[in-house]
Amino acid sequence: MTKRVISEQEKFWMGDFGAQYNDRNIGNDLIKGRKHLFRSALRTVGGITNAIEFGANIGLNIRALKRLYPEINLSAIEINKEAVDRLLEIDDLIVHQGSVLDIHAKKLYDLVFSVGVLIHINPNDLENVYQNIYFSSSRYILIAEYYSPKPTSVPYRGYENKLFKRDFAGELLDKYVDLKLIDYGFCYHRDPKVPLDDITWFLLEKV
């Protein structure tokens, strides 16, 4: 079998920039914002016993979800080695070191989610990630990303081709006819109570 070529974006996040990103994303305030996101996005659903995050970084989303659902069984996929080391410090978390472009899940999860990760995937590789997300979920998919009705490349901290906005959820809905939109919402970066980037979230369900 031919080995897959690692993309420019994967190398970027595996390296020094990814390590610097880890160090910028520390603090309880950041976890607080993520708790608000999950509380809002999952307010209408129940019965979630396990979940996997695609691109978990150092685990802020994992920690937020665990605080909301203490009994939930959580797994994470992360490409940056330093971030993986920090994820391994979280009790009972199953960690897969590698790319979201590759298959890691050995079972189905009640909830599969990504937060601010798909925006950093090369658009040519999104089909792979969509497939991995879809086939890892037994019921719910939560996509929380920068939204644009049309695909747009945005300069990111002085770099080109490292951040892409588009309608990720819409593309999933178009690709998989058994998915339906359950809910959606927006997090505003100027909300003083729950600081978080301008993220639009979409909750999808397999029917």
126: its two tokens: 């999104």
Count up the domains in the chain and report the number.
Answer: 1
Residue 15 lies in a domain: yes
Residue 1 lies in a domain: no
For residue 148, CA distances in Å to 126, 137, 153, 169, 170 come to: 15, 25, 10, 11, 10
What is this structure's pTM? 0.95
Residue 57 lies in a domain: yes
Residue 189 lies in a domain: yes
Residue 3 lies in a domain: no
Residue 25 lies in a domain: yes
148: its two tokens: 């644009």
66: its two tokens: 């665990």
The CATH number given to whatever domain includes residue 192 is 3.40.50.150
Owning domain of residue 163:
8-206
Percent with pLDDT over 70 in the chain = 98
74-109 pLDDT tens trace? 999 999 999 999 999 999 999 999 999 998 778 999
Residue 2 lies in a domain: no
100-149 pLDDT tens trace? 999 877 899 999 999 999 999 999 999 999 999 999 999 999 999 999 99
Residue 16 lies in a domain: yes
